[in-house]
Amino acid sequence: MNFGGRLPGGGAVRCRYCSASLPVMPGARAIQCAQCNGVTRVGGRRRPAVQPPMMPVAGGGFFPHARGSKRAVLIGITYAGMRRGRGQLRGPVNDVKCMRYLLCERFGFPNDCVLILTDEEKDPSRLATKENIRMAMHWLVQGCSYGDSLVFHFSGLGAQIADEDGDEVDGYDEAICPMDSFQQGPILDDEINEAIVRPLVHGAKLHAVVDAEHSSTVLDLPFLCRLSRNGSWQWQDHRPPTGAYKGTTGGQAVLFSGCSDGKNKMSLLPEASTVGAMTHSFIKAVESEPRSTYGRMLTSMRSIMRDGGVNCNLQGPIGAPIRKVANFSGVQEPNMSCSEMFDIYRKPFLL
């Protein structure tokens, strides 16, 4: 097996899967191949500390000025023209629109406290690049306090790479892929955890929904809920064997994500008016029972996913023009992980 390696002359590595030459930007920890979508780690085992990006000055056009107690970052990426011979994803931008409608109309999130990044934006500061996503994550949690309700949603490509730090129970790091992932590399779960999980203070909560392949534990949260078909459940300990701390600073983080093996991808649909299956199941579960528990939410999401229908039946003006559901992430089962353990059938789901 080819595990990749640095090419003579530096500045590039070989893809560990197809041996293509991949240019590497300074400081990159991993790079994604545009030919096979595989991710190759760059450099040695030592991982540099994640530094928060420089914050734009006031009026710079990136961050919403409002800092309400309800804030959200919604990211949808189609990768149009960026994957050699693989086409684009149909659905991520619609996923973002549906999530925004849900948050603003059902849960009272102010419009100016919802930051949207896609690869179809005309404003360069709202494009879903690696640097913009990193800054958006830090904006989301910066100055968080008791009573804050934060939401992070990502719809696009996910990736997996062998762990070299010994802090993954399953031996793999997971990642989300920005629109420039083939030039700048993906964003690994270690950085996501440090950016939006660790800063959560007591009384602040974060809900993340990630509609991407290999996203099961992409926030690196310590506990994963195992839910059987008959509804019985138990928490699985995913704390790093190294003893590294992956929890919050007193707050709570919950991730709804997809369990996938990468072998069940639906072919891309030609229609532009599609929505992702994982996002669709989350929104439908919330709309069906707005006052629910985490256990019932997860059960409802799994039921919706197992139905396997391709017709979209979301409510409201956003759902009306969307005709189909596309399982572009190849998710077989929705999962839930958290920064702490609790009784999933007693704890109410609140945004």
Percent of the chain with pLDDT over 70: 79
Give the mean model confidence (pLDDT) for residues 295-316: 80
pLDDT, tens only, 40-90: 888 654 444 444 454 443 334 567 766 789 999 999 999 987 755 566 787
Compute the mean pLDDT over every residue in the chain, rounded to the nearest whole number: 82
Exposed/middle/buried for 230, CB within 10 Å: 0-12, 13-18, 19+?
A: exposed
Q: Are 156 and 92 in contact (CB under 8 A)?
A: yes
Q: Can you name the residues that pair with 226 across neighbouring β-strands?
A: 234
Q: Can you name the residues that pair with 152 across neighbouring β-strands?
A: 73, 208
Percent of the chain with pLDDT over 90: 46
Kindly tell me the number of DSSP H helices and DSSP E strands found in the chain.
7, 20
Predicted TM-score (pTM) of this structure: 0.86
What is the pLDDT, as a whole number, of residue 93? 92
pLDDT, tens only, 238-296: 988 888 899 999 999 999 998 765 554 444 444 566 888 889 899 999 988 878 999 99
What is the pLDDT, as a whole number, of residue 31? 83
Q: For the chain, give every domain's residue range.
A: 1-44, 66-349
pLDDT, tens only, 91-139: 899 999 999 999 999 999 999 999 999 999 989 999 999 999 999 999 9
Query: Is domain 66-349 annotated with CATH 3.40.50.12660?
Result: yes
Sign of the alpha-carbon dihedral angle for 245, 299, 319, 101: negative
What is the pLDDT, as a whole number, of residue 265? 47
Return the higher-pLDDT residue of 351 and 8. Answer: 351
Reported confidence tier of residue 336, pLDDT bands at 50, 70, 90 = very high
